Amino acid sequence: MSNNLAIQLFNEAYQLQSNGDIDRAEKYYSEGLKLDPSNYEALHFLGTIQYQKGNFNLAIENISKAITLCGKNPFFYNNLGIAHHSLKNFERALFCYEKAVIIQPDLSDAHFNQGNALLDLGRFQEAFNSYCKALTINPKNIGYWKNLALVLPYLEFSSYDDSVASIFIKLLQPSLGIDTKAISFHAINLLKRHPVVEELMRNPNDNFMACAIKLSGIPLLLSVLEGGNLQDPEFEFFLTHLRKIALKNIDLIRGEYSVIPILVALSLQCFNNEYIFSTTQEELELLRVLESEVLSKFVLNNFDPFVECLLLSSYCKLSNYDCLKSLDMKLIPSTLIPVFRTQLYEVMAEQELAKKINSITPIKDKVSLLVQSQYESNPYPRWTIAPLSESPVSLESFVKGLNPYLIFQENFSRTPDVLIAGCGTGQHAIASFSRFENCKVLAIDLSLSSLAYALRKTNELGISNIEYAQGDILQINKVGRKFDIIESCGVLHHMASPIEGWKALVDCLKPNGLMKIALYSEESRKLITTVRELVLKKSIGDDGNSIKMVRQKIIDANESDWASLSEITLLSDFYSMSNCRDLLFHVQEHRFTISEIQACLDDLSLEFICFEFPTIFWPNKFKNLYCDQDQYSLKVWEHFEMEYPKTFAGMYQFWVRKIAS
């Protein structure tokens, strides 16, 4: 009788789990196991539920019992490894994944998880091999590609390799949703080893047709230019020269459709970096002639203008020309559609979307108005691909994964309300929306231009649960809304009084709510501070020409004042107009130390949870010196930063929670 009841309970539990009712399923599995503790399937499923709820130790206990009863199931080992991995027991997790692939060599998830453990252990080449095995079995899994992207920066490629180039090309595809910055950086290093590129960079050729034919045969080059981020002064010089000789050879390339692939790629790259390449006086004069010719003949509609339009669009966006706005897309050759869509139709769409965005607070603060003006001129950051999470997690599971040493007694919302305070162009809001299960997001910013860009990109992705609104953080606590999660990254340090803005956000956070903050590090920005002070001392403006001039002085390093600043060129923000303006020319900037952050947390009744890093480099270095629990101590991180001043070059990014009264 009890055996029949146990089977009934297990069947009901499985059905409930399949329908997403994990609380009742957990109860039924537990009751069934009291009657039949030898049911290894039930133990395994109970463990997976406990993992979902963030109870990693219980998950390990029950899945281990299942393995004791049935040691030949690869899924048991794989899921046990995942639970150990969540507790940062990387060696133990790796052992479990290895057992899984021994039992079932074609279990792609186990190879993938093996790669994750090896990545966390700093065994990068082995991690790369494991990810490649997973992709060989299941090449359509986007998550596998995303994690492969994480390991590439740690590999050395001494020569050009077509097989590696094909991996970079795949990773640069928008459909994967991978942030292209790191990919582009390493792809360019690989490209510089290509025989054709290497020769043209060493011996610049003034024959554009010859260059275009050679370069168009390098797929990785076209992919990087069309969707990547250049982060290399030598490569920038190479492309600047290529653009210049195209303009000088205009009479030879009119109507030559063979040059279109490289011109399209160059045009898209220049638009993406907001025309930050330097321009000579000779080019400006040639450009004025070309512009006048194209516009006059375009009105008469008596010639094929597309090669000329591509050249124009590599110097300034097509939406600057009113006569092009009425151009029927059906008349445009298919190879040119990406340029016209990006530079003309999407810009026009954003102008219409801006009219539909609501304002939820006034903007009256003097500094807020200055910052708003900056981002209206240069929406920040410009991006093409949203880094989407493939597997959203519950708020409870996410929180417990941040810091397993914290005690959480509160019930976590199953439908968390999220505020992105200072969302810019929407990349952050979209990433957060994809990170949490069943969440609703309010994303605010000062700049309508940035919000319109964000709304267009969000609509393209078919996301409907993000609400965009214009507003000032200083006024947000008067809106009357409370949030489970508030994220404000790279925003507070641009306010007149960061602590006032931070307090306004805390007022909107529910008791025990989570907050992610990102602030500039005083230590890590010393060189940037030097540049900012030099710009101020020399009374250099913050317009586009001034930014180009300062960049060129830093790159050339010919003058004594600028000669020691070349390290700035290693920063990805140096390579686009809005990012460079934000980096070196922002109207307002504060910097912090870890001690000052601790003082702010004390004043605001916030509890530190953990730092978050974009890569595993610094966490791994930290773990080699300190015990696991030390990573949740601001004091220990302060000592670490003194030893390694570049630790927080990408800002202090950290999670805190609001201490309930």
Q: Which domain holds residue 474?
A: 366-523+591-658
- Alpha-carbon distance of 35 to 26, in angstroms, equals 15
* DSSP state at residue 592: B
The tens digit of pLDDT for each residue in 214-271 reads 999 999 999 999 988 888 999 999 999 999 999 999 888 887 888 889 999 999 999 9
Q: Which of 304, 310, 305, 234 is nearest to 266 (CA)?
A: 310
| Assigned domain for 487 exists | yes
Question: Is residue 490 pLDDT above 80, yes or no?
Answer: yes
For residues 580 and 621, membership in a common domain is answered with no
For residues 281 and 370, membership in a common domain is answered with no
Instruction: Locate 642 and state its tokens.
Output: 């003194």
Answer with the one of 352, 376, 403 that is the final residue of a domain: 352
Q: Which of 275, 210, 213, 264 is nearest to 240 (CA)?
A: 275
In Å, what is the CA distance from 194 to each residue of 162, 203, 215, 234, 616?
10, 14, 10, 14, 30
For residues 102 and 202, membership in a common domain is answered with no
Q: Which residues contact 313 (CB under 8 A, 6 or more apart)?
A: 267, 270, 271, 339, 343
| DSSP per-residue string spanning 293-335 | HHHHHHHHT-S--HHHHHHHHTTS-GGG-GGGTT--GGGS-GG
- Alpha-carbon distance of 241 to 243, in angstroms, equals 5
pLDDT for 378 equals: 85
Give the full edge-to-edge strand order of the sheet including 652-658.
Answer: 358-359, 466-470, 440-445, 417-421, 483-489, 509-519, 652-658, 606-611
**% of the chain exceeding 70 in pLDDT:** 98
Between helix 594-604 and helix 634-643 the angle, nearest 10°, is: 160
Answer with the one of 295, 319, 352 that is the final residue of a domain: 352
**% of the chain exceeding 90 in pLDDT:** 67
Neighbouring-strand partners of residue 417: 440
Count of CB atoms within 10 A of residue 496's CB? 15
Neighbouring-strand partners of residue 359: 470
| Assigned domain for 155 exists | no
Answer with the one of 140, 163, 182 that is the final residue of a domain: 140
Q: Which residues contact 627 (CB under 8 A, 6 or more apart)?
A: none
| Assigned domain for 157 exists | no
Q: How far is CA 606 from the centre of its chain?
A: 27
pLDDT for 1 equals: 46
For residues 232 and 347, membership in a common domain is answered with yes
64: domain CATH number is 1.25.40.10
483: domain CATH number is 3.40.50.150
| SS3 assignment for 390-431 | CCCECHHHHHHHHCCCCCCCCCCCCCCEEEEECCCCCHHHHH
For residues 186 and 299, membership in a common domain is answered with yes
Question: Is residue 330 pLDDT above 80, yes or no?
Answer: no
In Å, what is the CA distance from 502 to each residue of 424, 487, 586?
17, 11, 20
CB 59 within 8 A of CB 47: yes
Between helix 448-460 and helix 346-354 the angle, nearest 10°, is: 120
Count Cβ neighbours within 10 Å for each residue of 583-615 and write b for 16 or more, e otherwise: bbbbeebbbbebeebeebbeebebebbbbeeee
For residues 518 and 541, membership in a common domain is answered with no
For residues 347 and 426, membership in a common domain is answered with no
For residues 347 and 220, membership in a common domain is answered with yes
CB 196 within 8 A of CB 213: no
CB 583 within 8 A of CB 525: no
For residues 298 and 310, membership in a common domain is answered with yes
pLDDT for 110 equals: 96
Q: How far is CA 658 from the centre of its chain?
A: 26
- Alpha-carbon distance of 355 to 12, in angstroms, equals 52
In Å, what is the CA distance from 631 to each residue of 88, 526, 626?
12, 25, 8
Tell me the residue type at 290: L
| Assigned domain for 495 exists | yes
For residues 342 and 411, membership in a common domain is answered with no
For residues 135 and 17, membership in a common domain is answered with yes
| Assigned domain for 154 exists | no
| Assigned domain for 357 exists | no
pTM of the model as a whole = 0.84
Report, as an integer, the average pLDDT of 561-588: 92
Cis preceding linkage at 381, omega within 30 = yes
For residues 195 and 55, membership in a common domain is answered with no
Work out the pLDDT band at 2, boundaries 50, 70, 90: low
pLDDT for 384 equals: 78
The tens digit of pLDDT for each residue in 106-125 reads 999 999 999 999 998 989 99
| Assigned domain for 151 exists | no
- Alpha-carbon distance of 141 to 135, in angstroms, equals 7
Taking phi over 0 as left and psi of -120 to 50 as alpha, with beta for the rest, 626 belongs to beta
Number of domains observed in the structure of the chain: 4
Count of CB atoms within 10 A of residue 567's CB? 11
102-106, 179-183, 489-493, 639-643: least confidently modelled range: 179-183
- Alpha-carbon distance of 103 to 86, in angstroms, equals 23
- Alpha-carbon distance of 141 to 166, in angstroms, equals 17
The tens digit of pLDDT for each residue in 13-70 reads 888 888 888 888 889 888 888 888 889 998 999 899 999 888 899 999 999 999 999 9
